């Protein structure tokens, strides 16, 4: 099991509105010991493809490969509905350019109103994702559907508003495709929010061999905090044991989000994260 790190976390420069240069982010990951990264395309830019080609050259020169990218999600109305499909397509095109193995997607674009009909929502999610699954297959990639959790941001029907917040829904959607190019991105932090730290391992077990890639982060108090392992309540030892039991061959991909480190510490901190990952995969 090898390690990967989410590049976009390194964009932030503490105490400045400036963004860190892409080549510097790649060098930081390389020098810390990472050989794989998660990449976020600039999918809103008119020249997104050209940027992806330039980024690919930088990555190749550094000996870094892209493990996964992440498609945009519009549950929170982040993007105009009329542009969302365009942005989604751009991510898949850019993912192919940089040589990504997986494109991670959410299955929660259906907006619940007066009822929560699991079959109806699954139909919607399947129809939405199917063209992108076809595109990914034709371009040597796979689609990984991420496990989510009820965020209580919208009206709920019997406590539900967000599809794929249960292992059964997620596995059902994946199995609907019946295609080896569709699997699960298991997000450990989301699982802790959805099932609690006492039941999240059982949910992981329920997914079986569907797991093809990961989002690694920890949390506590049921909040999606995206902190590094051992700073929260997740029982990492039991989860690592299970991943080895099922013969998981994918990457162990850190997805940290909040905060930023000073330039004087960012390299040392990143090496520490790599050491944490090396310890975990050695268990």
pLDDT digits (tens, 9 = 90+) for 185-222: 999 999 999 999 999 999 999 999 999 999 999 999 99
**Coil, strand, or helix at residue 279?**
helix
pLDDT band for position 14 (cuts 50, 70, 90):
very high
Beta bridge partners of 157: 160
- Kindly list the domain boundaries of the chain, sorted by start residue: 3-282
pLDDT 10s digits, 241-270: 999 999 999 999 999 999 999 999 999 999
Question: Residues 6 or more apart from 173 whose CB is under 8 A from it?
Answer: 107, 122, 125, 126, 145, 163, 164
User: What is the distance between the alpha carbons of residues 81 and 78, in angstroms, rounded to a whole number?
Assistant: 9
User: What is the distance between the alpha carbons of residues 7 and 24, in angstroms, rounded to a whole number?
Assistant: 10
Identify which of 162, 231, 226 has the alpha carbon closest to the alpha carbon of residue 189.
226
Maximum separation of any 2 CA atoms in the chain, in Å: 53
- pTM of the predicted model, to two decimals? 0.97
Helix 48-62 to helix 81-98 angle (10° resolution) is: 30
Instruction: Tell me the two tokens of residue 58.
Output: 């930088």
User: What is the distance between the alpha carbons of residues 255 and 216, in angstroms, rounded to a whole number?
Assistant: 6
What's the length of the chain?
A: 283
Give residue 148's pLDDT: 99
pLDDT band for position 139 (cuts 50, 70, 90):
very high
User: What is the distance between the alpha carbons of residues 238 and 5, in angstroms, rounded to a whole number?
Assistant: 22
DSSP-assigned letter for residue 53: H
Identify which of 153, 3, 132 has the alpha carbon closest to the alpha carbon of residue 64.
3
Give residue 198's pLDDT: 97
User: Over pLDDT 70: what percentage of the chain?
Assistant: 100
The CB density around residue 58, as the number of other CB atoms within 10 Å, is: 16
Angle at 214 between CA 87 and CA 25, to 5 degrees: 65
Per CATH, the homologous superfamily of domain 3-282 is Divalent-metal-dependent TIM barrel enzymes (3.20.20.150)
31, containing H or E segment: helix 22-32
Instruction: Tell me the two tokens of residue 257.
Output: 């989000």
Q: Tell the residue number behind the tokens 């077990």, with chain if given.
A: 205
Give residue 61's pLDDT: 99
DSSP-assigned letter for residue 6: E
Question: Please, are residues 71 and 37 in contact by the beta-carbon 8 Å criterion?
Answer: no
pLDDT 10s digits, 58-89: 999 999 999 999 999 999 999 999 999 999 99
CA torsion sign for 185, 187, 191, 193 is negative
pLDDT 10s digits, 43-61: 999 999 999 999 999 999 9
First vs last C-alpha separation in the chain: 11
Give residue 238's pLDDT: 98
Question: Residues 6 or more apart from 258 whose CB is under 8 A from it?
Answer: 225, 226, 227
Q: Tell the residue number behind the tokens 């907006």, with chain if given.
A: 111
Question: Please, are residues 185 and 106 in contact by the beta-carbon 8 Å criterion?
Answer: no
Q: What is the side-by-side strand order in the sheet with 102-105?
A: 211-215, 182-187, 142-146, 102-105, 65-70, 36-39, 3-6, 252-254
């Amino acid at each position: 099991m090898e390690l990967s790190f989410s590049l976009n976390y390194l964009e932030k420069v503490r105490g400045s509105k400036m963004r860190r240069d892409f080549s510097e982010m790649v060098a930081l990951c390389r020098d810390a010991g990472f050989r794989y990264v998660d990449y976020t395309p600039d999918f809103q830019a008119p020249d997104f493809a050209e940027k992806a080609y330039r980024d690919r050259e930088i990555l190749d020169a550094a000996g870094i490969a892209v493990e996964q990218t992440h498609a945009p999600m519009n549950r929170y109305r982040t993007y105009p509905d009329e542009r969302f499909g365009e942005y989604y397509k751009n991510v898949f095109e850019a993912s192919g350019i940089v040589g990504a193995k997986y494109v991670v997607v959410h299955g929660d674009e259906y907006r619940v109103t007066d009822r929560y009909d699991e079959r109806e929502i699954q139909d919607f999610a399947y129809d939405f994702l199917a063209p992108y699954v076809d595109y990914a297959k034709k371009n040597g990639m796979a689609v990984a559907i991420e496990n989510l959790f009820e965020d209580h941001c919208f009206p709920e029907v019997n406590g539900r508003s967000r599809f794929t917040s249960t292992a059964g829904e997620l596995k059902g959607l994946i199995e609907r495709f019946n295609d080896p190019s569709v699997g699960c991105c298991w997000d450990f932090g989301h699982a802790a929010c959805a099932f609690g730290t006492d039941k999240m391992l059982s949910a992981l077990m329920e997914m079986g061999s569907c797991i093809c890639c990961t989002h690694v982060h920890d949390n506590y108090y049921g909040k999606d905090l995206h902190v590094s392992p051992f700073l929260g309540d997740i029982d990492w030892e039991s989860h690592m044991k299970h991943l080895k039991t099922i013969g998981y061959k994918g990457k162990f991909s850190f997805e940290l989000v909040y905060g930023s480190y000073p330039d004087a510490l960012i390299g040392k901190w990143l090496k520490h994260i790599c050491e944490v990952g090396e310890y975990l995969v050695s268990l």
